[in-house]
Amino acid sequence: MSKFQNFEAYQPPLQQYKLLPFKFDRLNDEEYLITNMVGEYHIVLRDVLASIVGRCLPPDHPDYPNLRAKHFIQEDGEIAPAELLALKLRTKLARLANFTNLHLFVVTLRCDHSCPYCQVSRQSSDKSAYDMTQETADRALDFVFKSPSPGIKIEFQGGEPLLNFEMVKYVVLRTKERNAHFGKDLQFVIATTMSLLTDEILVFCKKHKVILSSSLDGPENLHNQNRPRQGKDSHRKFVEGLEKARLVLGYDQVSALMTTTEASLIWVKEIIDEYLRLGFQGIFLRHLSPYGFAIKTRKFMAYDAERWLEFYKEGLDYILALNKAGIRFVEHYAAIILTKMLSSTNPGFVDLMNPSGAGIAAIVFNYDGAVYASDESRMLAEMGDQTFRLGHLAENTYEEIILSDALLDALEDTFTLSVPMCSDCAFEPYCGAEPVYHHAIHKDTVARKPESAFCKRNMAIFKHLIGLMQSDEETKRIFLGWVNRC
């Protein structure tokens, strides 16, 4: 029998650095993306990645300084890189300690529009039985002021909240009265179509610093088609309301959100041009969601993820061309993602939060007192699925609602650092969980990731944004400008 070699022969070769936690994904045939726990990224060639993992990349390699600076590696004897990485992670997750900031009051289900893709099972404008009562509102405010968050944002939803504006006024006044004791930073938002806006409403909003969030799907013909109302004048009503609101409240106190329908897909440039024409400084190119009336009418199935991505990329290219021509205009979804990629700030966008923002970042009080983990949860419940119903204001305490299994199970099951496939994904630092979406589609809060349109859309956008920055310095400067504005 041959003798064993000396002990030294079995010792690993002397290494000058250790690996800190990172993940990787292939961008193309030659390049790989690597990301660390806080979303800092670096692009390396395939053979360089092999050398990094094998811990044999020489210190004089061009990538070596970047890998150290971005905390992918630390040299033997160093402590600071791991501690700095931990500090950055704590900074990214700091907002979790504040808990629920956004509280949505569904003051009515009544609406004067009949949008075929609506996410809510709306009711006609004469059914006041679907209005929130003062008793329910007071109970909701009891809940609101138990949140540890130093800032409270109350958003009035519907239906059309202006059909129950007396309740909006009641909640605003009662909130400010109660806040004299608590001293929290308050924000109020009304999500409205603008069609029922009056001078009286605007005077109240001006006095109490209430801002308006509305909907604009594009040019007149498209908007009227997507958002029909009696009189076929939804676009005209929006423009009239927009002009009045800006005059009274201020130019930056009114925002708009679009939804991409099947009819929208060939008009992305015209949609963006309409936002520009009306003086908006950006747009959120939003896809349809599979909730509420959108499920009943099957409108959410009008196009797939690939077709929406074509629409999105065409729109983003056009927006970048506008910026390069000197017209400052932002695509807001890209700006949110880029903020997570390029800064230490977490913008707190609920759909891209980890753990999921359902319940712990935003919570919904329905007109009837039922409490839901998110607006999407409420929409799902309108179609008979009560999975994410957390309780009832008249029946459950704050603690019972916040500690309910419906909320805690969803949060635990979708924590992306431990979810199969998410935990290994290089794009995990930029993404979220969306348990309600995946339950709606797959009847599984974790979902089958290879089949998830949520994953498909977001991974494609993440790669596209990184590719654009990699290939064009001017685009990268534009994106950095968007991040600094967020």
pLDDT in tens, the chain (486 residues): 557 777 766 665 556 899 999 999 999 999 999 999 999 999 999 999 999 999 999 999 999 999 999 999 999 889 999 999 999 999 888 888 889 999 999 999 999 887 776 655 555 555 678 999 999 999 999 999 999 999 999 999 998 999 999 999 999 999 999 999 999 999 999 999 999 999 999 999 999 999 999 999 999 999 999 998 888 899 999 999 999 999 999 999 999 999 999 999 999 999 999 999 999 999 999 998 766 555 555 555 668 899 999 999 999 999 999 999 999 999 999 999 999 999 988 888 988 988 888 888 899 999 999 999 988 888 888 778 899 999 999 999 999 999 999 999 988 888 888 888 999 999 999 999 888 888 888 888 888 888 899 999 999 999 999 999 999 999 999 999 999 886
Q: For residues 57 and 467, what is the distance between their CA atoms, to the nearest angstrom?
A: 25
Q: What structural domains does the chain harbor?
A: 7-92 (no CATH), 99-402 (3.20.20.70)
pLDDT tens digits, one per residue of 71-110? 999 998 899 999 999 999 998 888 888 899 999 999 999 9
What per-residue confidence (pLDDT) applies to 281? 96
Q: For residues 448 and 451, what is the distance between their CA atoms, to the nearest angstrom?
A: 6
What per-residue confidence (pLDDT) applies to 98? 87
**Count of other CB atoms within 10 angstroms of residue 159:** 27
pLDDT tens digits, one per residue of 31-52? 999 999 999 999 999 999 999 9
